Amino acid sequence: MSEKELKPRLKRLETVNLVSFSHYAPEGHIDLETAGRTLDLSEGGILIEIPNSLPSTATEVELRLGIQEDVVTVRGAILHQRELDNGHFGLGIRFDKISDEDLSVITAFLAEED
């Protein structure tokens, strides 16, 4: 068995924040817009809960996340999804595109809650 270099796992904070969620179809248009909430958050990704299943297997998403008085916009990729006990859907999302300013809002929020 070969050894692989593993990235250190980023600290994840269990937090509930409102999320506006847009899912992009393979053709590039938005095929689902909904609201949800965070289940946990890190500087590199997020776990969210949304009420709807995804209409396609495409992974590209855009999120607008309310953090205190700020709204952070992030583009990312769905890494995993599962149906939750309440019938909603949990999506693990990796952040791919985020501005330095928005990342600093997340970093400051995580530091405050530490």
pLDDT at 72: 96
Model pTM score: 0.86
pLDDT at 10: 63
pLDDT at 97: 97
Indicate the Cα dihedral angle 85, 88, 93, 97, nearest 10°: -160
Q: Which residue, chain included where needed, has tokens 């583009």?
A: 75
- Residue from 105, 102, 62, 57 nearest 80 by CA: 57
Would you say 48 and 81 are in contact if contact means Cβ atoms under 8 Å apart?
no
Structure token pair of residue 81: 């999804």
Q: Which residue, chain included where needed, has tokens 């776990």?
A: 47
Class at the top of the CATH hierarchy for domain 13-109: mainly beta
Domain locations along the chain: 13-109
pLDDT at 1: 40
Indicate the Cα dihedral angle 105, 42, 84, 26, nearest 10°: 80
Q: For the chain, list residues with pLDDT below 70.
A: 1-11, 114
